[in-house]
Amino acid sequence: MKMNKLSISITTIIVLILMTACTQNRQDALELWPAQIDDKWGYINNNGECVISPQFDAAYAFSEGLALIVINDKGGYINTQGNIVIGPNYDAAEDFSEGLACVAVGNKIGFIDNRGNIVINPQFDYAESFSEGMAVVELNGRYGYIDKQGKYVINPQFDDAHAFSEGSAVVKVNERYGYIDKQGKYIINPQFDYSRSFSEGLAEVEIGKKCGYIDRQGKYIINPQFDYASSFSEDLAAVSIGKRGGIDKHGEFFDADIDCGFIDKQGRYVINPQFDGAYDFSEGLARVVVNEKWGYINKLGEYVVNPQFDRAGDFHGGLASIRANGKEGYIDKQGIVIFMEQ
């Protein structure tokens, strides 16, 4: 089951928090950040001050005013005052999105509202958060889409399916990826080896082990030529030619893309390939990897925070999570540490 937040180790939770970007609907509580103090998790503010005392076995970012927490391997939710508003009753859970959260009871998944009421009974083998009014669900190996009443809008029929983004969704049929509209009709027939969701009007697709970008009509805007390509974010996309992976000195998998740079929507390099790894721009900065150290650049390709961290996350609400010397923390956009794990 893909929805496995509660079954992972605390170490993995740390990495997920470092790597996971907060979506726009979390902005109401971006001033609160999950932080580990000793063996428990609480929340800090943008000044690094503890505002919700460490008491949870795991804690996640706020979404729509509530945050997923874990107590004794069960998931529940707190408000921004730290009060438990939905008790830790679930075997797995996800963040709230569009007013609902998917939760697991046993091995079946359903949806609750922000008062903890079951809105859609647990019945699915897998489910994703709602996006654009619909949610991906899986039953007996087939994927489809439901509305917020739990009714099928698009019947289960796909080998895989992704959330709707910009009015379309990626689906997989017979080992090929294509795009459907909200009526379930193909707008771009399955033909790609892999596809990402549309972002800023373009979608990254892979064919013949090369990556390029298409528009909503399925026309190539940037021909497949890269070994790796990310979605566009803030008008730029990270791309690379050449790939390698391995285990770093901390014993973690390190997926570096040799000669990473950034292109614009015409496929022109704005920041020339020079990094071992590069990731999406967020709040004007992008994290990059050089010699297994992480730092941040601006849109001119200039270092704002020199590579020095063992791990780093995207900036959101003016802060980014980092790892240094085996400890987790947060920095501001000047690279100043505002919190470090105790």
Structure tokens at 86: 């939905």
Specify if 2 maps to a domain. no
Specify if 261 maps to a domain. yes
Residue 280 sits in a domain whose CATH number is 2.40.128
- Give, in order, the Cα–Cα distances in Å from 90 to each of 76, 99, 139, 321: 7, 18, 20, 27
- Predicted confidence at residue 17, as pLDDT, reads 39
Specify if 30 maps to a domain. no
Specify if 336 maps to a domain. yes
- Predicted confidence at residue 93, as pLDDT, reads 97
- Predicted confidence at residue 27, as pLDDT, reads 38
Sheet containing strand 40-44, strands side by side:
33-37, 40-44, 50-56
Work out the number of other CB atoms within 10 angstroms of the CB of residue 189. Answer: 12
Give the integer Cα–Cα distance in Å for 226 and 263. Answer: 11
Pairing of strands 152-158, 311-312: unpaired
Domain that holds residue 270: 235-342
- Predicted confidence at residue 11, as pLDDT, reads 35
- Predicted confidence at residue 104, as pLDDT, reads 98
Specify if 41 maps to a domain. no
3-state DSSP assignment of residue 7? helix
- Predicted confidence at residue 252, as pLDDT, reads 55
- Predicted confidence at residue 255, as pLDDT, reads 56
Q: Of 61, 84, 57, 92, which Cα lies nearest the Cα of 72?
A: 57
Domain count along the chain: 1
Widest distance between CA atoms in the chain: 53
Specify if 154 maps to a domain. no
Specify if 131 maps to a domain. no
Specify if 136 maps to a domain. no
Mean pLDDT by 10 residues, the chain (342 residues): 38 37 39 92 94 97 97 97 97 97 97 98 98 98 98 98 98 98 98 98 97 98 97 98 57 62 98 96 97 97 98 95 95 96 80
Backbone φ and ψ for 223, nearest 5 degrees, come out as -60, 150
